[in-house]
Amino acid sequence: MNPHLTSKTAVVTGASRGIGLATVRALTAEGVRVVGGARTITPELEDTGAHTVPADLSTAEGVATLMSGALDRLGGIDLLVNNVGGEDNMEPRGFLDADDAQWSRVLDLNLLSAVRATRAALPSLIERRGSIVNVSSISAREPTVGLIAYSAAKAALTSLGKSLAREFGPKGVRVNTVSPGAVNTFIWADPAGLGGKVAAQAGLDHATFFQRLPQDFGIATGRITEPEEVAALIVFLLSDLARNLTGADHLIDGGTLTAL
């Protein structure tokens, strides 16, 4: 099936690695002209052929830099993927261990980056009857102990998507959310990432923890999701193949969550 994306334009945040990088690759493969924004422009992102804008998307100034740069390069925006998220030095911590500064950092990156990027893109998206995908997390539905600020921010992001879909659907803009479970990115696969810190707390070496992760997390398929699989779902939701899908939260977690 043809997603009819050739000659469209897109902005992807958090594009340097993981889900964001996989999404840039998938969109460019469909003939989309993409601007990828990230604090650090990696060689892998450069190799996609996408336009790149270095920017700290946890700040209002960084988002403004990305969006103005994207509009200058693309002339208008058809598609927006609010993917950037997580936090610097992501690690499990209790509620009493997270101060206001920590909460602000997490909310800025995981929620307000999407608010700011969407606000900047909407005039163009309305004109072009475009589409938005926000990348949330299953932590929005089942808050994770030790990642309380992250879970709260992702729950707010999921709610934001539904509100935007209701307000701007009549103006031709679709807004959907993708909520991955564990994905094979640096967050879990890198010993220096969150996975390594969770393993240490459990008294395990990272290799053992990572091997056992599907079983310990209750993933029905017996494996974690690949970034390319999330990217494929994002591309589908952005495309005309999903033209009557909006305001929905789409899980891609290998059957981790079982609640109705």
Task: Indicate whether 1 pLDDT > 80.
Answer: no
The whole-number pLDDT of residue 90 equals 82
Q: What is the CATH number of the domain that holds 86?
A: 3.40.50.720
Mind listing the pLDDT tens digit for each residue in 120-132? Answer: 999 999 999 999 9
Considering the domain architecture, whether residues 27 and 155 belong to the same structural domain is answered as yes
pTM of the model: 0.96
Q: Which residue range(s) make up the domain with 190?
A: 184-224
Look-up: residue for tokens 């609640």? 259
* pLDDT on residue 52: 98
DSSP output for the chain: -----TT-EEEEES-SSHHHHHHHHHHHHTT-EEEEEESS--HHHHTTT-EEEE--TTSHHHHHHHHHHHHHHHSS-SEEEE---S-TT---B-GGG--HHHHHHHHIIIIIHHHHHHHHHHHHHHHHT-EEEEE--GGGTSPPTTBHHHHHHHHHHHHHHHHHHHHHGGGT-EEEEEEE-SBSSHHHHSTTSHHHHHHHHTT--HHHHHHHHHHHTT-TTSSPBPHHHHHHHHHHHHSGGGTT--S-EEEESTT-----
Is 150 assigned a catalytic role?
yes
Q: What is the pLDDT of residues 79-114, one digit of tens each?
A: 999 999 997 678 888 999 999 999 999 999 999 999
Same domain for 88 and 211, yes or no, is: no
**Among the options 79, 150, 173, 253, which is catalytic?**
150
Number of domain units in the chain: 2
Specify whether 179 is located in the same domain as 197. no
Q: Is residue 2 part of a domain?
A: no
So what's the pLDDT on residue 131? 98
**What's the average model confidence in pLDDT over 69-85?**
97
Residue that is written with structure tokens 């990230």 in the block: 38
